[in-house]
Amino acid sequence: MENDSNRKDQVVTITGQKHLIRCRCILPQFRRHPDPPLHQFVVFSVLDDDKVRPHFVQCNNCGIVHKVTDILVSEIVKGREHMKSLKTVDDVRLGMPEQLAAVLEANGADLATWEAVSFTLEHQRWGDYVVISSDTDGAVSQGKYIKILGQGLFKVETYVRDMYATRE
């Protein structure tokens, strides 16, 4: 009984994270390559005390369904190319302020980015930011992010950073 009461008193820390998972498919531009890399795509996961809530996602290249079980870890759901219960951008858009949805749409945000922004709003994580685009050129990375300031308040900003540390 003591363990049950202790468990009720514990505070669960809920966070979210965008991360990659690997599929078994290969992007069309690499099919003729002698050693083609497997396709990776970005997903958004909710974590309870650093443990991923298992969820299903669909590969944005081949459409196969994956069960995400940890950061960077998924398993292919055999015999499932479609699931009606999978979340879509349109599902996420419904609970989002129109101007914020317009910014995400204009920047071609993927489902994981929509989910990250939605999570930030839902959990009122004011001051958090979500990267909506990034490009690299050699050792320099440049991108754009949305900083969520409050309910219906946000700011789009850019960043530039060196990809590699240098000695001075």
> What is the full DSSP assignment across 5-46?
HHHHHSPPPEEEEEEEEE-S---GGGTTSSSPPPPEEEEEEE
Backbone angles phi and psi of 117, in degrees to 5 = -65, -45
Residue-level pLDDT at 147: 97
Which of 38-42, 45-49, 84-88 shows the lowest per-residue confidence on average (mean pLDDT)? 84-88
Task: Return the beta strands (E) in 51-124 as ranges.
Answer: 51-52, 55-58, 65-70, 73-76
> Would you say residue 125 has pLDDT above 60?
yes
Choose among 69, 121, 65, 71: nearest CA to 93: 121
Per-chain mean pLDDT for the chain:
90
Closest CA to 21 of 73, 76, 79: 73
pTM confidence score: 0.85
Nearest CA among 68, 18, 69, 16 for reference residue 46: 16
- pLDDT confidence of residue 8: 60
Q: Are 35 and 1 in contact (CB under 8 A)?
A: no
pLDDT of residue 7: 53
